[in-house]
Structure 1
Amino acid sequence: MLELRAITAGYDRHSPVVRDASLTVEPGESVGLLGPSGCGKSTLARVTALLHRPDSGTVLLDGSPVRRWRHRAPREQRTAFGAVFQQPRLSADPRLRLRDLIAEPLHASGHRDAPSERAAELAATVGLTTDLLGRRPHEVSDGQLQRACLARALVLRPRWLICDEMTAMLDASTTAALVRAVEDYRRSTGAGLLAVGHDRTLLNRWCDRTIHWETLRG
Protein backbone atom coordinates (compact mmCIF):
# COMPACT_ATOMS: atom_id res chain seq x y z
CA MET A 1 0.00 0.00 0.00
CA LEU A 2 1.05 3.59 -0.63
CA GLU A 3 0.22 5.89 2.26
CA LEU A 4 0.78 9.58 2.95
CA ARG A 5 0.29 10.70 6.53
CA ALA A 6 -0.01 14.36 7.54
CA ILE A 7 2.24 15.67 4.76
CA THR A 8 3.27 19.30 4.92
CA ALA A 9 5.47 20.44 2.04
CA GLY A 10 6.51 23.40 -0.04
CA TYR A 11 9.53 25.35 -1.18
CA ASP A 12 9.71 27.70 1.78
CA ARG A 13 9.30 26.26 5.28
CA HIS A 14 7.52 29.40 6.41
CA SER A 15 4.76 29.14 3.79
CA PRO A 16 4.09 25.52 2.76
CA VAL A 17 1.70 24.89 -0.11
CA VAL A 18 0.57 21.52 1.28
CA ARG A 19 -0.55 21.29 4.90
CA ASP A 20 -1.33 18.11 6.83
CA ALA A 21 -2.47 16.09 3.78
CA SER A 22 -3.18 12.36 4.06
CA LEU A 23 -4.27 9.75 1.51
CA THR A 24 -3.86 6.08 0.65
CA VAL A 25 -3.69 4.12 -2.59
CA GLU A 26 -4.12 0.35 -2.50
CA PRO A 27 -2.27 -1.92 -4.96
CA GLY A 28 -4.25 -2.02 -8.19
CA GLU A 29 -6.43 0.93 -7.16
CA SER A 30 -6.85 4.10 -9.19
CA VAL A 31 -7.35 7.23 -7.09
CA GLY A 32 -8.11 10.66 -8.48
CA LEU A 33 -7.06 13.82 -6.66
CA LEU A 34 -9.25 16.74 -7.73
CA GLY A 35 -8.44 20.37 -7.02
CA PRO A 36 -8.06 23.80 -8.61
CA SER A 37 -4.84 25.08 -10.16
CA GLY A 38 -2.33 26.37 -7.65
CA CYS A 39 -3.69 24.50 -4.64
CA GLY A 40 -0.59 22.33 -4.12
CA LYS A 41 -1.59 19.16 -6.00
CA SER A 42 1.62 19.03 -8.02
CA THR A 43 3.78 19.44 -4.92
CA LEU A 44 1.96 16.56 -3.26
CA ALA A 45 2.37 14.49 -6.44
CA ARG A 46 6.12 15.10 -6.35
CA VAL A 47 6.26 14.09 -2.69
CA THR A 48 4.32 10.93 -3.52
CA ALA A 49 6.73 10.04 -6.34
CA LEU A 50 9.72 10.57 -3.96
CA LEU A 51 10.87 13.59 -5.95
CA HIS A 52 10.36 16.19 -3.20
CA ARG A 53 11.10 15.80 0.50
CA PRO A 54 8.22 17.00 2.69
CA ASP A 55 8.79 19.35 5.60
CA SER A 56 6.91 16.98 7.88
CA GLY A 57 4.73 13.89 7.73
CA THR A 58 5.44 10.38 6.50
CA VAL A 59 5.27 8.50 3.21
CA LEU A 60 4.92 4.75 3.69
CA LEU A 61 5.52 2.22 0.96
CA ASP A 62 4.30 -1.30 1.79
CA GLY A 63 4.29 -0.27 5.45
CA SER A 64 7.89 0.97 5.47
CA PRO A 65 8.54 4.71 5.91
CA VAL A 66 10.48 6.48 3.17
CA ARG A 67 13.57 8.12 4.65
CA ARG A 68 15.48 9.28 1.55
CA TRP A 69 14.36 11.12 -1.57
CA ARG A 70 15.22 11.46 -5.25
CA HIS A 71 18.49 9.71 -6.18
CA ARG A 72 19.27 9.02 -2.50
CA ALA A 73 16.20 6.82 -2.09
CA PRO A 74 16.91 3.07 -2.14
CA ARG A 75 16.68 1.70 -5.66
CA GLU A 76 13.75 -0.59 -4.84
CA GLN A 77 11.73 2.39 -3.60
CA ARG A 78 12.87 4.85 -6.24
CA THR A 79 12.06 2.53 -9.15
CA ALA A 80 8.69 1.56 -7.70
CA PHE A 81 7.30 4.85 -9.06
CA GLY A 82 6.68 6.17 -12.54
CA ALA A 83 5.61 9.79 -12.91
CA VAL A 84 4.19 11.84 -15.79
CA PHE A 85 3.75 15.59 -15.44
CA GLN A 86 1.70 18.25 -17.19
CA GLN A 87 4.31 19.91 -19.39
CA PRO A 88 6.35 17.34 -21.31
CA ARG A 89 8.77 19.93 -22.67
CA LEU A 90 9.89 20.74 -19.14
CA SER A 91 10.31 17.03 -18.38
CA ALA A 92 12.30 16.02 -21.46
CA ASP A 93 15.97 16.61 -22.20
CA PRO A 94 15.86 18.46 -25.55
CA ARG A 95 19.12 16.81 -26.64
CA LEU A 96 17.76 13.27 -26.52
CA ARG A 97 16.03 11.43 -29.32
CA LEU A 98 12.73 9.91 -28.20
CA ARG A 99 14.14 6.37 -28.07
CA ASP A 100 16.85 7.58 -25.68
CA LEU A 101 14.36 9.63 -23.68
CA ILE A 102 12.23 6.53 -23.12
CA ALA A 103 15.24 4.39 -22.20
CA GLU A 104 16.82 7.03 -19.94
CA PRO A 105 15.75 5.37 -16.63
CA LEU A 106 17.18 2.04 -17.79
CA HIS A 107 20.61 3.60 -18.18
CA ALA A 108 20.34 5.50 -14.89
CA SER A 109 19.37 2.40 -12.91
CA GLY A 110 21.77 -0.03 -14.57
CA HIS A 111 18.86 -2.21 -15.62
CA ARG A 112 19.61 -5.31 -17.67
CA ASP A 113 16.86 -4.82 -20.25
CA ALA A 114 18.13 -3.95 -23.75
CA PRO A 115 17.31 -0.22 -23.94
CA SER A 116 16.48 -0.07 -27.66
CA GLU A 117 14.21 -3.12 -27.52
CA ARG A 118 12.39 -1.92 -24.42
CA ALA A 119 11.97 1.58 -25.90
CA ALA A 120 10.48 0.17 -29.11
CA GLU A 121 8.12 -2.09 -27.14
CA LEU A 122 6.80 0.78 -25.06
CA ALA A 123 6.59 3.16 -28.01
CA ALA A 124 4.09 0.80 -29.60
CA THR A 125 2.22 0.52 -26.31
CA VAL A 126 1.66 4.28 -26.07
CA GLY A 127 0.96 4.77 -29.79
CA LEU A 128 4.29 6.14 -31.02
CA THR A 129 5.32 5.01 -34.49
CA THR A 130 8.91 3.84 -35.00
CA ASP A 131 9.75 6.76 -37.30
CA LEU A 132 9.24 9.16 -34.38
CA LEU A 133 11.79 7.45 -32.15
CA GLY A 134 14.70 9.07 -33.99
CA ARG A 135 13.34 12.58 -33.48
CA ARG A 136 14.15 15.05 -30.73
CA PRO A 137 11.50 16.83 -28.61
CA HIS A 138 11.39 19.97 -30.78
CA GLU A 139 10.59 17.80 -33.82
CA VAL A 140 7.39 16.29 -32.40
CA SER A 141 4.06 17.59 -31.11
CA ASP A 142 3.16 17.99 -27.43
CA GLY A 143 0.97 14.91 -27.65
CA GLN A 144 3.71 12.79 -29.20
CA LEU A 145 6.21 13.99 -26.62
CA GLN A 146 3.80 13.23 -23.77
CA ARG A 147 3.40 9.70 -25.16
CA ALA A 148 7.18 9.33 -24.94
CA CYS A 149 7.15 10.66 -21.38
CA LEU A 150 4.51 8.10 -20.43
CA ALA A 151 6.60 5.34 -22.03
CA ARG A 152 9.58 6.57 -19.99
CA ALA A 153 7.48 6.38 -16.82
CA LEU A 154 6.60 2.76 -17.60
CA VAL A 155 10.04 1.57 -18.68
CA LEU A 156 11.10 0.23 -15.26
CA ARG A 157 7.75 -1.52 -14.74
CA PRO A 158 6.73 0.59 -11.71
CA ARG A 159 4.22 -0.58 -9.15
CA TRP A 160 2.82 2.93 -8.69
CA LEU A 161 2.00 5.54 -11.32
CA ILE A 162 1.69 9.24 -10.55
CA CYS A 163 -0.03 11.17 -13.35
CA ASP A 164 -0.04 14.88 -12.56
CA GLU A 165 -2.32 16.72 -15.02
CA MET A 166 -0.92 14.35 -17.65
CA THR A 167 -3.56 15.23 -20.24
CA ALA A 168 -4.27 18.88 -19.37
CA MET A 169 -2.61 20.27 -22.52
CA LEU A 170 -3.79 17.59 -24.94
CA ASP A 171 -6.72 17.07 -27.29
CA ALA A 172 -9.49 14.57 -26.58
CA SER A 173 -8.15 11.77 -28.80
CA THR A 174 -4.65 11.92 -27.30
CA THR A 175 -6.12 12.08 -23.81
CA ALA A 176 -8.15 8.95 -24.49
CA ALA A 177 -5.12 7.15 -25.91
CA LEU A 178 -2.92 7.95 -22.91
CA VAL A 179 -5.57 6.99 -20.38
CA ARG A 180 -6.10 3.72 -22.26
CA ALA A 181 -2.35 3.01 -22.21
CA VAL A 182 -2.21 3.62 -18.45
CA GLU A 183 -5.21 1.37 -17.85
CA ASP A 184 -3.79 -1.40 -20.05
CA TYR A 185 -0.60 -1.27 -18.02
CA ARG A 186 -2.47 -1.32 -14.71
CA ARG A 187 -4.60 -4.28 -15.74
CA SER A 188 -1.56 -6.28 -16.81
CA THR A 189 0.59 -5.46 -13.76
CA GLY A 190 -1.73 -4.60 -10.86
CA ALA A 191 -0.08 -1.19 -10.45
CA GLY A 192 -1.73 1.49 -8.35
CA LEU A 193 -2.47 4.96 -9.75
CA LEU A 194 -2.70 8.47 -8.34
CA ALA A 195 -4.16 10.71 -11.06
CA VAL A 196 -4.01 14.41 -10.18
CA GLY A 197 -6.14 16.91 -12.05
CA HIS A 198 -8.85 19.56 -12.13
CA ASP A 199 -11.14 17.83 -14.64
CA ARG A 200 -13.83 16.26 -12.48
CA THR A 201 -15.44 14.39 -15.38
CA LEU A 202 -12.19 12.78 -16.50
CA LEU A 203 -11.17 11.72 -12.99
CA ASN A 204 -14.60 10.32 -12.16
CA ARG A 205 -14.60 8.23 -15.35
CA TRP A 206 -11.00 7.14 -15.00
CA CYS A 207 -10.61 6.37 -11.30
CA ASP A 208 -12.12 4.00 -8.77
CA ARG A 209 -12.62 6.94 -6.42
CA THR A 210 -11.92 10.66 -6.49
CA ILE A 211 -10.71 12.67 -3.50
CA HIS A 212 -11.36 16.40 -3.30
CA TRP A 213 -8.34 18.47 -2.31
CA GLU A 214 -10.17 20.17 0.56
CA THR A 215 -10.79 16.82 2.28
CA LEU A 216 -7.08 15.97 2.52
CA ARG A 217 -6.25 18.58 5.07
CA GLY A 218 -6.76 18.31 8.76
Structure 2
Amino acid sequence: MTGHLAAEEVTVGYGRQVVLDRVTLTIARGETVGLRGPSGSGKSTLVRVLALLHPLNHGHVSIDGVPVTGTRYAVPAAVRTRIAVLFQSPRAAADPRLNLTDLIAEPLRATREPERRVSARVAELADLVGLTPDLLNRRPHAVSDGQLQRACLARSLVHRPDYLLCDEATAMLDASTQAHVAAVITGYQRTQRAGVLVISHDPALLGRWADRVVDLPTAGAVPAGRTAR
Protein backbone atom coordinates (compact mmCIF):
# COMPACT_ATOMS: atom_id res chain seq x y z
CA MET A 1 0.00 0.00 0.00
CA THR A 2 1.49 3.31 -1.09
CA GLY A 3 0.40 6.91 -1.03
CA HIS A 4 1.29 10.33 0.30
CA LEU A 5 -0.11 13.63 1.51
CA ALA A 6 1.68 16.67 0.14
CA ALA A 7 1.69 20.45 0.29
CA GLU A 8 3.26 21.61 -2.96
CA GLU A 9 4.72 25.11 -3.42
CA VAL A 10 2.27 26.42 -0.85
CA THR A 11 2.06 30.14 -0.09
CA VAL A 12 -0.26 31.47 2.61
CA GLY A 13 -0.64 35.04 3.82
CA TYR A 14 -2.73 37.00 6.27
CA GLY A 15 -3.25 40.35 4.60
CA ARG A 16 0.20 41.53 3.52
CA GLN A 17 2.02 39.18 5.89
CA VAL A 18 3.31 36.05 4.18
CA VAL A 19 3.37 33.13 6.63
CA LEU A 20 4.30 30.28 4.29
CA ASP A 21 6.35 31.05 1.20
CA ARG A 22 6.40 28.31 -1.48
CA VAL A 23 6.69 25.47 1.00
CA THR A 24 6.72 21.85 -0.09
CA LEU A 25 6.24 19.00 2.39
CA THR A 26 5.39 15.35 1.75
CA ILE A 27 4.23 12.70 4.23
CA ALA A 28 4.20 9.12 2.95
CA ARG A 29 1.91 6.38 4.26
CA GLY A 30 3.63 4.62 7.14
CA GLU A 31 6.15 7.44 7.63
CA THR A 32 6.59 9.73 10.63
CA VAL A 33 7.82 13.20 9.67
CA GLY A 34 9.01 15.63 12.33
CA LEU A 35 8.52 19.34 11.72
CA ARG A 36 10.39 22.01 13.63
CA GLY A 37 10.93 25.72 13.24
CA PRO A 38 10.98 28.98 15.18
CA SER A 39 7.82 30.57 16.54
CA GLY A 40 6.04 32.39 13.75
CA SER A 41 7.42 30.18 10.99
CA GLY A 42 3.95 28.92 10.11
CA LYS A 43 4.03 25.35 11.45
CA SER A 44 0.43 25.42 12.69
CA THR A 45 -0.72 27.14 9.50
CA LEU A 46 0.92 24.38 7.48
CA VAL A 47 -0.95 21.78 9.54
CA ARG A 48 -4.24 23.53 8.83
CA VAL A 49 -3.37 23.70 5.13
CA LEU A 50 -2.60 19.97 5.02
CA ALA A 51 -5.80 19.23 6.94
CA LEU A 52 -7.81 21.14 4.30
CA LEU A 53 -8.89 23.69 6.89
CA HIS A 54 -7.15 26.79 5.49
CA PRO A 55 -7.23 28.32 1.98
CA LEU A 56 -4.09 28.92 -0.04
CA ASN A 57 -2.79 31.93 -1.91
CA HIS A 58 -0.68 29.72 -4.15
CA GLY A 59 0.14 26.04 -4.60
CA HIS A 60 -2.00 23.05 -3.71
CA VAL A 61 -2.48 20.09 -1.42
CA SER A 62 -2.60 16.63 -2.97
CA ILE A 63 -3.45 13.14 -1.75
CA ASP A 64 -1.81 10.28 -3.61
CA GLY A 65 -0.82 12.75 -6.31
CA VAL A 66 -4.36 14.07 -6.87
CA PRO A 67 -4.79 17.80 -6.08
CA VAL A 68 -7.57 18.63 -3.62
CA THR A 69 -9.62 21.75 -4.28
CA GLY A 70 -11.53 23.63 -1.61
CA THR A 71 -11.45 23.50 2.17
CA ARG A 72 -13.60 22.13 4.98
CA TYR A 73 -17.07 20.99 3.89
CA ALA A 74 -16.41 21.97 0.28
CA VAL A 75 -14.22 18.84 0.18
CA PRO A 76 -16.09 15.52 -0.09
CA ALA A 77 -16.29 13.65 3.22
CA ALA A 78 -14.53 10.62 1.72
CA VAL A 79 -11.50 12.85 1.06
CA ARG A 80 -11.40 15.14 4.08
CA THR A 81 -11.83 12.30 6.59
CA ARG A 82 -8.60 10.73 5.34
CA ILE A 83 -6.78 13.46 7.30
CA ALA A 84 -7.09 14.15 11.02
CA VAL A 85 -5.48 16.65 13.38
CA LEU A 86 -4.54 16.44 17.04
CA PHE A 87 -4.00 19.96 18.34
CA GLN A 88 -1.83 21.21 21.20
CA SER A 89 -4.61 22.47 23.45
CA PRO A 90 -7.44 20.00 24.04
CA ARG A 91 -9.50 22.68 25.79
CA ALA A 92 -9.38 24.92 22.73
CA ALA A 93 -10.26 21.98 20.47
CA ALA A 94 -13.14 20.54 22.55
CA ASP A 95 -16.71 21.84 22.70
CA PRO A 96 -17.27 22.44 26.45
CA ARG A 97 -20.96 21.58 26.08
CA LEU A 98 -20.30 17.98 25.04
CA ASN A 99 -19.44 15.06 27.30
CA LEU A 100 -16.51 12.91 26.19
CA THR A 101 -18.75 10.35 24.51
CA ASP A 102 -20.35 13.00 22.31
CA LEU A 103 -16.99 14.67 21.73
CA ILE A 104 -15.55 11.46 20.30
CA ALA A 105 -18.73 10.65 18.37
CA GLU A 106 -19.14 14.11 16.81
CA PRO A 107 -17.21 13.46 13.55
CA LEU A 108 -19.10 10.21 12.96
CA ARG A 109 -22.45 11.87 13.48
CA ALA A 110 -21.42 14.65 11.11
CA THR A 111 -21.11 12.02 8.36
CA ARG A 112 -24.42 10.44 9.44
CA GLU A 113 -23.09 7.11 10.60
CA PRO A 114 -25.75 4.83 12.15
CA GLU A 115 -25.91 5.32 15.92
CA ARG A 116 -25.19 1.64 16.52
CA ARG A 117 -21.86 1.98 14.71
CA VAL A 118 -21.15 5.25 16.48
CA SER A 119 -21.60 3.67 19.92
CA ALA A 120 -19.42 0.68 19.04
CA ARG A 121 -16.64 2.86 17.63
CA VAL A 122 -16.66 5.20 20.63
CA ALA A 123 -16.39 2.26 23.02
CA GLU A 124 -13.55 0.76 20.97
CA LEU A 125 -11.57 3.99 20.90
CA ALA A 126 -12.21 4.88 24.54
CA ASP A 127 -10.66 1.56 25.48
CA LEU A 128 -7.74 2.14 23.10
CA VAL A 129 -6.83 5.54 24.59
CA GLY A 130 -7.47 4.51 28.20
CA LEU A 131 -10.72 6.31 29.05
CA THR A 132 -12.89 4.48 31.58
CA PRO A 133 -16.72 4.50 31.25
CA ASP A 134 -17.16 6.90 34.18
CA LEU A 135 -15.04 9.51 32.38
CA LEU A 136 -17.07 9.30 29.18
CA ASN A 137 -20.09 10.90 30.84
CA ARG A 138 -18.11 13.93 31.99
CA ARG A 139 -17.71 17.25 30.23
CA PRO A 140 -14.29 18.81 29.54
CA HIS A 141 -14.29 20.96 32.69
CA ALA A 142 -14.61 17.81 34.83
CA VAL A 143 -11.55 15.97 33.46
CA SER A 144 -7.83 16.65 33.39
CA ASP A 145 -5.91 17.97 30.39
CA GLY A 146 -4.45 14.51 29.84
CA GLN A 147 -7.85 12.82 29.92
CA LEU A 148 -9.29 15.41 27.56
CA GLN A 149 -6.39 15.02 25.13
CA ARG A 150 -7.00 11.25 25.13
CA ALA A 151 -10.59 11.96 24.13
CA CYS A 152 -9.38 14.31 21.40
CA LEU A 153 -7.01 11.59 20.19
CA ALA A 154 -9.90 9.11 20.08
CA ARG A 155 -11.96 11.63 18.11
CA SER A 156 -9.13 12.14 15.62
CA LEU A 157 -9.04 8.39 14.91
CA VAL A 158 -12.78 7.76 14.50
CA HIS A 159 -12.71 7.74 10.68
CA ARG A 160 -9.50 5.65 10.56
CA PRO A 161 -7.55 8.44 8.82
CA ASP A 162 -4.65 7.71 6.51
CA TYR A 163 -2.79 10.77 7.83
CA LEU A 164 -2.60 12.12 11.38
CA LEU A 165 -1.16 15.60 11.97
CA CYS A 166 0.03 16.25 15.54
CA ASP A 167 0.52 19.95 16.29
CA GLU A 168 2.52 20.00 19.55
CA ALA A 169 -0.01 17.40 20.69
CA THR A 170 1.98 16.24 23.73
CA ALA A 171 3.40 19.60 24.83
CA MET A 172 0.83 20.20 27.61
CA LEU A 173 0.88 16.65 29.00
CA ASP A 174 2.82 15.03 31.82
CA ALA A 175 5.49 12.49 30.92
CA SER A 176 3.36 9.37 31.45
CA THR A 177 0.46 10.74 29.37
CA GLN A 178 2.89 11.86 26.67
CA ALA A 179 4.25 8.33 26.47
CA HIS A 180 0.76 6.82 26.35
CA VAL A 181 -0.46 9.16 23.60
CA ALA A 182 2.68 8.51 21.56
CA ALA A 183 2.28 4.75 22.00
CA VAL A 184 -1.36 4.85 20.85
CA ILE A 185 -0.43 6.88 17.77
CA THR A 186 2.48 4.57 16.95
CA GLY A 187 0.31 1.49 17.35
CA TYR A 188 -2.39 2.99 15.14
CA GLN A 189 0.22 3.90 12.54
CA ARG A 190 1.52 0.34 12.39
CA THR A 191 -1.96 -1.13 12.12
CA GLN A 192 -3.29 1.30 9.49
CA ARG A 193 0.00 2.23 7.82
CA ALA A 194 -0.84 5.86 8.48
CA GLY A 195 1.42 8.78 7.72
CA VAL A 196 2.11 10.93 10.79
CA LEU A 197 3.34 14.52 11.07
CA VAL A 198 4.76 15.51 14.45
CA ILE A 199 5.39 19.17 15.28
CA SER A 200 7.56 19.68 18.34
CA HIS A 201 10.23 21.93 19.82
CA ASP A 202 11.60 18.89 21.70
CA PRO A 203 14.61 17.51 19.78
CA ALA A 204 14.67 14.36 21.93
CA LEU A 205 11.04 13.57 21.10
CA LEU A 206 11.62 14.14 17.39
CA GLY A 207 14.74 12.01 17.52
CA ARG A 208 12.83 9.10 19.07
CA TRP A 209 9.66 9.40 17.03
CA ALA A 210 10.39 10.76 13.55
CA ASP A 211 11.86 8.90 10.59
CA ARG A 212 13.10 12.25 9.30
CA VAL A 213 12.91 15.85 10.48
CA VAL A 214 12.05 18.87 8.33
CA ASP A 215 13.06 22.43 9.25
CA LEU A 216 10.51 25.13 8.45
CA PRO A 217 12.20 28.53 8.38
CA THR A 218 10.37 31.80 8.80
CA ALA A 219 8.85 33.01 5.52
CA GLY A 220 11.38 35.04 3.57
CA ALA A 221 14.37 33.23 5.07
CA VAL A 222 14.59 30.70 2.22
CA PRO A 223 15.68 31.81 -1.24
CA ALA A 224 13.02 31.58 -3.95
CA GLY A 225 12.50 28.11 -5.33
CA ARG A 226 13.77 26.20 -2.30
CA THR A 227 11.55 23.92 -0.28
CA ALA A 228 11.37 23.39 3.45
CA ARG A 229 13.35 20.17 3.75
TM-score, normalised to structure 1's length?
0.95
2:83 pairs with 1:81: yes
Which one of the candidate residues 33, 44, 52 is aligned to 2:35?
33
Q: What residue identity is the alignment partner of 2:46?
A: L
Which stretches of structure 1, 4 residues or more, deviate above 6 A after TM superposition? none
List runs of 5+ in structure 2 lacking aligned partners: none
Output the CA distance in 2 between the equivalents of 1:8 and 1:18. Answer: 5
Describe the SS at the equivalent of 2:17. coil
Partner of 2:62: 60
2:141 pairs with 1:135: no
Output the CA distance in 2 between the equivalents of 1:69 and 1:20. Answer: 19
Range 194-203 or range 151-160, more displaced:
194-203
Partner of 1:115: 118
Q: How much has 1:217 moved relative to structure 2?
A: 4.2
**Could you tell me whether the CA contact under 8 Å between 1:68 and 1:74 is conserved in 2?**
no
Q: What residue identity is the alignment partner of 2:49?
A: V
Partner of 1:102: 104
Q: Which has the larger radius of gyration?
A: 2
Q: What residue identity is the alignment partner of 1:11?
A: Y
CA RMSD of aligned residues (A): 1.4
Range 208-217 or range 134-143, more displaced:
208-217
Partner of 2:26: 24
Per-residue CA distance 1:137-172 (angstroms, 9 max, x = gap): 000011110100010000011011011000111111
Q: What residue identity is the alignment partner of 1:6?
A: E
Which one of the candidate residues 44, 47, 57 is aligned to 1:45?
47
Q: What residue identity is the alignment partner of 1:176?
A: A
Describe the SS at the equivalent of 1:10. strand
Q: Number of residue pairs matched? A: 217
Which one of the candidate residues 150, 170, 175 is aligned to 2:173?
170
Which one of the candidate residues 4, 9, 12 is aligned to 1:6?
9
Partner of 2:153: 150
List runs of 5+ in structure 1 lacking aligned partners: none
**Could you tell me whether the CA contact under 8 Å between 2:165 and 2:197 is conserved in 1?**
yes
**Could you tell me whether the CA contact under 8 Å between 1:37 and 1:198 is conserved in 2?**
no
